Amino acid sequence: MATLVVTGPGMSEVRISAAEWRVMEVVWGRKAATAAEVIAALAGSSRWGSRTVRTLLARLVAKGALAAAADGNRYVYRPRVTRDRCVREESRSFVRRVFAGDTAELLVHFLREADLPPERVDELRRLLDEKRPQR
């Protein structure tokens, strides 16, 4: 499963794999990161070695999702796509793939399955009321 991200003017679409998404999360969170910082951040949650992380960083640069700037003997990586945009595209892809594009069906499914506190129910009710067409 890959996230499709449409980048800026003159740039092509980018597909981000699940592994690349984990690397992007680190870089998005830090705004900029060296390979060593990404490796350290992922050390506790993955069994990836430094070569694997560096390969993922190189792929993300090649795809246009990250920019790399030399800083002495290392590179500093910065996101070229926002997390919000990736989340939006991943959400759209999920709705198309799993719910045949029917957002209402997705909402009904999650509302039936979710254990929501009263304040979240109130928030959802308020959002749905805002979506209701005025007569």
- The one-digit pLDDT tens for each residue of the chain (135 residues) are 565 554 555 555 678 899 999 999 999 999 999 999 999 999 989 999 999 999 999 999 999 999 999 999 999 999 999 999 888 888 888 899 999 999 999 989 988 999 999 999 999 999 999 988 876
Tell me, yes or no, whether 126 lies in a domain. yes
Number of domains in the chain: 2
Tell me, yes or no, whether 26 lies in a domain. yes
Phi and psi, residue 116, nearest 5° = -105, 135
Tell me, yes or no, whether 94 lies in a domain. no
Question: How many other C-beta atoms lie within 10 A of the C-beta of residue 97?
Answer: 10
Residues whose CB falls within 8 Å of the CB of residue 27, separated by 6 or more in sequence, listed in order: 33, 38, 66, 77, 78, 79
H runs (alpha helix) in the chain: 18-30, 35-43, 50-63, 83-99, 103-113, 118-131
Domain that holds residue 116: 102-135
At 134 the pLDDT is 74
pTM of the model: 0.76
Tell me, yes or no, whether 89 lies in a domain. no
